[in-house]
A and B are shown apart, each in its own frame.
Chain A
Amino acid sequence: MMSVGVNVDDKDLLRVFTCGSVDDGKSTLIGRLLYESQLVYDDTLARLTEDSKKHGTQGSDIDFALLVDGLLAEREQGITIDVAYRYFSSQKRSFILADTPGHEQYTRNMVTGASSADVALILVDASKGILTQTKRHSYLIKLLGVRQAILVINKIDLVDYDEETFVTLCDAFQTYADEIGLKETTYIPVSALRGDNLTSKSVRMPWYDGPTLMSCLESIPLDSEVYDQHFRMSVQYIIRPNSEFRGVAGTVASGRLSKEDAVVVLPSGALAHVERIFCGETELQEAVAGQSVVVTFHEDVDVSRGDLLSAPEKLPQVAEHFRATIVWMSNEVMLPGRTYLIKIGSRTSTVSFEAPRYEVNVNTLEHLAARTLSLNAIGVCNATLSTPSPLERYAEVPEGGSFIVIDRFTKDTVGAGMVDYVLRRSDNIHWQTFEVDREARTRLFSHRSALIWFTGLSGAGKSTIANLLEKKLFARGMHTYILDGDNVRSGLNKDLGFTEADRVENIRRVAEVAKLMVDAGLVVLASFISPFRSERELARNLQKEGDFIEVYVDVPLAVAESRDPKGLYRKARAGELPNFTGIDSPYEPPESPEIHIQNSQGDPEEAVAIIMRALELKGIIS
């Protein structure tokens, strides 16, 4: 009864996607296609006949739509509300058919169905012509990059199998298809209800000499480009049965991979050479796009889930910023600036979107201003990833340019998108090189620049020593500048208080300013209590090796408190100055400062002499 051969392993697989408006008869078409392909079993047919009487719309005839309208809720309402998958096959091919409803509110389902399709069937009611919905479906098919479209002009029986109506419809659609850039469209007049031109040629349309729907589906060429593209494979899993074997598992997204081929691991950029390729126990000489394999390398290369293996000839860009077209799929609107999870290939990271540049009206293709995206909206946004990741343009490499967006808390899939292009912004922030550089300034000033960082309790004598040191350096004709806690806080850091978070930010800004000044060729003297080791470490790490000289001005708390030049300890003891270092906020002394000054005696001349000797040793003063 089934028209399938016994040996089907030589068949190939075509993924078809159908869309149509509410009354285009799409379910009837699919039900009929299954029936005509003789894929409906007797018991299913018996149940269908029974159901047709209960829920059907075709009187005593079999309502083929009921074959495919699956859920109880749908059968009762007479509509389809979700993507349904159907399976049928012919002598030549197996087909997976994703059937989606065409209502306006189900853009999300259409996009889902179209995302994995080779071919799209767009249904049109011959008696109604090209509707707004038809245009919307075509736009989404174009957006998702489905390679081929078949415009199925259904209910041709309602217009008496008229050639003129068919031709007019084809012309109207082709004009629109050209406008949006839909590549290839085939036109077929059918009557799903009566079975015309589905699996056998209709005798009622002698003027039509094209293929039937089934023979068209059977002869559409499969994507062979994917084998010729550059090799890409997302790393899914590492297989390590013992210390001898370390296999990288994944499915080849595009291109081919052979033994001894070189691949680059991204984002790290490490190079590795293929040792062996396995599919189960079978060892392969070559793996091609679509195959799930395990690869071992000659090198002991660092690779883990989320990495991308890429042919060295053409690497995807590794970037953080990109422009994307996003389809929003959640009742909760997309919030610009909020952090979402994003899955690209096997890599899950975090992302935030800027306010949409525009939203697309899917019916008119107009660009609308938008602040956010709501359910079923399609918009174009700039996106920023938390860490640089390999990115490709969806139009070029769909596997590397498609992503889903996941809510961090509910873990629901709230959106999906396609990378339009990588934004160059992250590249532009890299340090600009000017021709007058630090070396040139060093030559002009005749001395090296450096950052001398004084740390210690309030009243330890930091500013006194820094002041005297600057005078001596200045007298030698050196270019100097003092960054002092009080001075900086009266301007640049006016907005900061004395909480731990503010103190951290205070030091971060000072360290950044000092870095610019060191680049400007100055010897910078920074005088800050800077009580936390981690922030001094941050300041040190911002400078080049050897440019940061930490001077610990060390006095016991009692000594500092007894000096109390600004009366601060007294206020702190009285509870008028919260978070005061040494009283109710800790001071973490440096573990290995470049210079350690015991300043209990309070002799700035001696301290400066010590520092000058150290600067001579470091070649900062001659």
Chain B
Amino acid sequence: MRSRLSNLDRLESESIYIIREAVATAERPVMLYSVGKDSSVLLHLARKAFFPARPPFPLLHVDTTWKFSEMYRFRDEVAKTSGMELIVHQNPYCLANNINPFDHGSSVHTDLWKTEGLLQALRGGNFDMAFAGARRDEERSRAKERVFSVRSSSQRWDPKMQRPELWHLYNTMLSPSQSLRVFPLSNWTEFDIWNYIRRESISIVSLYFAKERPCVERDGALIVVDDDRFRFLPNETSRLRKVRFRTLGCYPLTGAIESEATSIEEIVEELAKSSTSERFGRVIDYDASGSMEIKRQHGYF
């Protein structure tokens, strides 16, 4: 065998090391599972890290009830094949008050369902370490995020309380009120993710592949009408367009891109020619420059 490890070999090894380091020292670890491609890679790495045993932690899906129906099918299938426990949390306040992106806007919707829902689920489960698939290359403010990110009891991210990370010596210890968010994919880029999915034949939701889907064009974004809860504006109709997604979220808030890519090879090729960043399709980013940093200070991933 070749002795020099490739970029993907190194990233894989580093992620497995991080996952094991967390599990070896955590009391109640959990893996946040969002059904996207990064979650698929993260789960794949976790299974590799503990093979032949099953990863010794549950999966947590913080659900908004507004994901693509295809995502729910995929999620349940993955839970079944991995044999891992799947915890689905839906913010009961949102359920009771029917919080949705049409009546309440993207910001309130995301804040209550996702940010608040996540805090409820972590607190409720008494989890001291939560894995998530966030990457540093996603957004400018993430570039300084630690691999092991300390949260106070309010789950807030305070840049000043973050611990220096030297060599591979991660400090996983916690004082009584603290918890950790753990980001094993910190050093991966979007390209690495796709190349790894291809190399390892990792299954991903079919929404990433181009297909004719009923679309509505709104504020420059292509929104796919995934179910009959979609509210059309006057004079608005859907029409079939061949689209796919670069990133996934709540369907009314996630922009699709027109594409012909129906295989991972074609996706990577298309990505190499692309001129927009990954988060371009996310409606929530539009509020203000620096909005991600503010969201993260409040506990959003």
Query: Hey, which bits of chain A sit against chain B, CB under 8 A?
Result: 1-2, 4, 6-13, 41-44, 47, 50-51, 67-68, 70-73, 75, 82-87, 89, 93-94, 96, 108-109, 111-112, 115-116, 222, 224, 227, 236-237, 239-241, 245, 247, 249-251, 256, 278-281, 284-286, 288, 290-292, 294, 305, 329, 341, 343, 346, 348, 398-399, 402-404, 406, 409-413, 416
Contact = CB atoms under 8 A, between A and B. Distances in A.
Interface stretch (B50-58, B88-96, B108-116, B205-213): B50-58
Contact of B293 (A51, A71, A249, A281): A71
Contacts of B169: 343, 402-404, 416
Nearest to A88: B189
B165 A112 contact: yes
A43 B276 contact: yes
Nearest to B10: A13
Nearest to A55: B289
B277 A43 contact: yes
24 contacts: A1-B272, A6-B269, A8-B192, A9-B7, A12-B6, A12-B7, A13-B10, A42-B276, A71-B159, A82-B144, A83-B144, A93-B7, A116-B166, A236-B24, A249-B20, A251-B16, A280-B51, A291-B9, A348-B173, A402-B167, A404-B171, A411-B171, A416-B164, A416-B166
Nearest to B139: A70
Given A6-B268, A71-B144, A112-B164, A294 B51 contact: yes
B175 A411 contact: yes
B181 to A, nearest CB: 15
Interface residues of B, number: 70
Given A249-B50, A290-B13, 6 more contacts: A6-B265, A71-B141, A87-B136, A245-B52, A250-B20, A411-B173
B241 interface: no
A237 B55 CA distance: 12
Q: Residue among A6, A115, A224 with the most chain B CB within 10 A?
A: A6
Contacts of B137: 86-87
A473 to B, nearest CB: 59
Interface in B3-19: 3-14, 16-17
B163 interface: yes
A2 B53 CA distance: 40
B52 A292 contact: no
Nearest to A44: B277
A294 B135 CA distance: 26
Contacts of B30: none
A67 B289 CA distance: 12
Nearest to B279: A43
Contacts of B3: 227, 256, 288
Contact of B173 (A89, A240, A406): A406
Contacts of B5: 12, 288, 290-291
Nearest to A94: B7
A430 B277 CA distance: 65
B264 to A, nearest CB: 10
Q: Is the interface of A mostly helix, strand, loop or mixed?
A: mixed
In terms of DSSP, what is the predominant structure of the interface of chain B?
helix
Identify the 5 closest CB pairs spanning chains A and B, nearest first: A280-B48, A241-B53, A41-B277, A292-B16, A115-B166
A239 B9 CA distance: 21
B186 interface: yes
B106 interface: no
A1 B275 contact: yes
Given A4-B272, A85-B136, A236-B17, A222 B4 contact: yes
Contact of B189 (A87, A115, A227, A241): A87
A329 B4 contact: no
B48 A279 contact: yes
Contact of B7 (A8, A82, A281, A403): A8
Contacts of A68: 140, 143
A72 B293 contact: yes
Interface in B271-296: 271-277, 280, 289-290, 293-294
Contacts of B229: none
Interface in B102-145: 136-137, 140-144
A43 B20 CA distance: 37
Given A115-B167, A237-B23, A239-B50, A1 B143 contact: no
Contacts of A10: 6
B166 A112 contact: yes
Interface string B162-196: 11111111010111001000000011010110010
Given A8-B191, A115-B167, A416-B164, A2 B272 contact: yes
B21 interface: yes
Residue of B12, B17, B174, B293 with highest tally of chain A CB at under 10 A: B17
Contact of B13 (A71, A251, A403): A251
A4 B289 contact: no
Contacts of A410: 175
B47 interface: yes
B253 interface: no
A241 B168 CA distance: 27
A70 B143 contact: yes
A12 B4 CA distance: 8
B31 to A, nearest CB: 16
B280 A43 contact: yes
Nearest to B266: A6
Contacts of A329: 164
Contacts of A250: 20
Given A237-B23, A239-B50, A402-B166, A82 B280 contact: no
